[in-house]
Amino acid sequence: MSITLVNPAGLPEIPAYRQVSIATGSKLVFIAGQVSWDADGVLVGEGDLAAQVEQCYLNIGTALAEAGATFDDVAKITVYVVDWTPDKLALFLEGVDRAAAKLGGTPVPPGTLIGVAALDVPEHLVEVEATAVVD
């Protein structure tokens, strides 16, 4: 495996992700921000943050598969959420959990969640991008 995820002593343990990703692979995979469109470009989960998060993560999974990778190869994930407030965390985690159940594992690479004013179209509530390293 090209990615080792760790929580170093001296940093808090966060259940949703690991603090550090150590990559040893030779192929870098950069995935553009994924929104909640299905393969036909149709919006999934209008007005439903959990459904949109789920679709974004499933889209990342599809992109990873094209590169011969899985979430086990993800070194860093960045999430942009429109009008983020801490009370949205439960919905965000619900979407991640639903995607994880379909993908067969829990994605826990180091991550950053950024609140933004808007995305490309008003219907999009979340966008997720990822970087992976593959042997």
- According to the model, what pLDDT value does residue 16 have? 84
Q: What is the percent of the chain with per-residue pLDDT over 90, rounded to a whole number?
A: 84
Residues of the chain short of pLDDT 70, as ranges, are 1
Query: Mind listing the pLDDT tens digit for each residue in 97-110?
Result: 999 999 988 778 99
Longest Cα pair distance anywhere in the chain, in angstroms? 46
In this prediction, residue 1 carries a pLDDT of 65
* Residue carrying structure tokens 């985690």: 93
Separation between Cα atoms, residue 72 and residue 105, nearest integer Å: 9
Look up the pTM and report it: 0.90
CA distance 10 to 2: 24
Distances (CA, A) of 96 to 9, 61, 134: 26, 12, 22
Query: Amino acid identity of 33?
Result: G
Q: What pLDDT sits at residue 82? A: 98
Average pLDDT, the chain: 94
